[in-house]
Amino acid sequence: MGNDGGELFSRADIVGLIGHFQSRAKLILLMFFIGFIGGYPGAGEAITWLLQADGFLPEGVQVIILQPMEIVLLQLRIATQIGFSLAFITIICDLGWNGRTILAKARRNAKEIEISRFKPLIQVIIAIFILGLLGALYAKEILIPMLLDYLAADAASSGLSNTWQLQSWIGFIVGLFFGSIIGFQVPILVILLLRAGLIEHQTIIENRGLFWFSALFLGAMLSPPDPLSLFLVGGPILILIELALLSEKYFQK
C-alpha cells in the first residue's frame, strides 16, 4: 500500500506517527534532561578545550569577555544542544525499532504487527555513531576553520577590529559542530522511513525539491544565521540524502 498522488505521507501514516511519538513523549523528554544535566559539566570542559585548541581562532583575532555570566550562559547553551541531540537520536532509534509497527497500527494491519517488526537497532546505532563522527570531523577540519577565516578576513578588509566576544565565538563554533553532527543523521532518517514503508522511494524522487528545501531549512536552523553557513551545513545533507537514496535502491535490488 503506497502513498497516492505523490504525497509524502498518507493521512493514516501521519496520524500513526503523531500518536506513536506522543506515547514516547516522556521518554524523549527524559533523554533530553539526561543530556542537559549530564552535558552541563562537560560543557565547561568543552569551553576550556576550545580556548586552548589550535585552529579555532584566526590569526590577529582577540577574544574578550564582556560579562562574568558568559561562561554560565555558554554552558547552558551547550548543555541544551546536547539534550536536543540526545532526544533526536532517541527518536531515530525508536523509529528504527518500531517503524513497521507504527505503519501496521496506522493501517490496521494486525498480521504485519506480529511478523514484520523492524529491529536492526544495533545497525542504526552504529550508523548514528559513524555519521556523527564524520559530521564532527567535517565541522572541525573544514567547516569551522573555513568560516572563521572568512569572517576574520572580511572584517579585516572592511577595516573593522577583529575583537570577538567569547559567547558569540564559542556559540558559533558549537552551533556548527552540533549542526553538522545532527545534519549528518538525516540519511538514516530517510532510510528508516523507506524501510518502514512510511514513505516510498518514488515519492521522494517526485518530491525531491521539497526534500532539498527541507535540508537547506534544517541547515539554516542548525547553523549560524548567514548564507555561507547555511550552504556549507545544508550542502552535505543534500549529498548524503542522494547517497542514501542510491544505496537503498541498490540494496533493494
- pLDDT higher at 18 or 35: 35
Give the pLDDT score at 116. Answer: 44
Q: What is the pLDDT of residue 134?
A: 93
Average confidence score pLDDT of the chain = 77
Instruction: Tally the residues of the chain.
Output: 253
Q: pLDDT tens digits, residue range 106-127?
A: 555 544 444 444 456 788 889 9
List own/partner pairs for 10-18 with CB under 8 A and 24 or more apart. Answer: 12/106, 12/107, 13/102, 13/103, 13/106, 13/107, 13/198, 15/106, 16/102, 16/103, 16/105, 16/106, 16/107, 17/102, 17/106, 17/198
- What's the pLDDT score for residue 82? 92
For the whole prediction, is pTM greater than 0.95?
Answer: no
Helix/strand/coil (H/E/C) assignment for every residue in 5-48: HHCCCCHHHHHHHHHHHHHCHHHHHHHHHHHHHHHHHHHHHHHH
Give 43-57 pLDDT, tens digit per residue.
Answer: 888 888 887 877 787
Residue 154 burial (CB count, 10 A): 12
The total of structural domains in the chain comes to: 1
Domain that holds residue 47: 4-252
- 178 CB neighbour count, 10 Å cutoff: 22
Give me the mean pLDDT over the 198-211 stretch: 74
Q: What is the pLDDT of residue 118?
A: 46
Name 100's Cβ contacts closer than 8 Å, sequence gap at least 6. 112, 116, 117, 118, 195, 196, 197
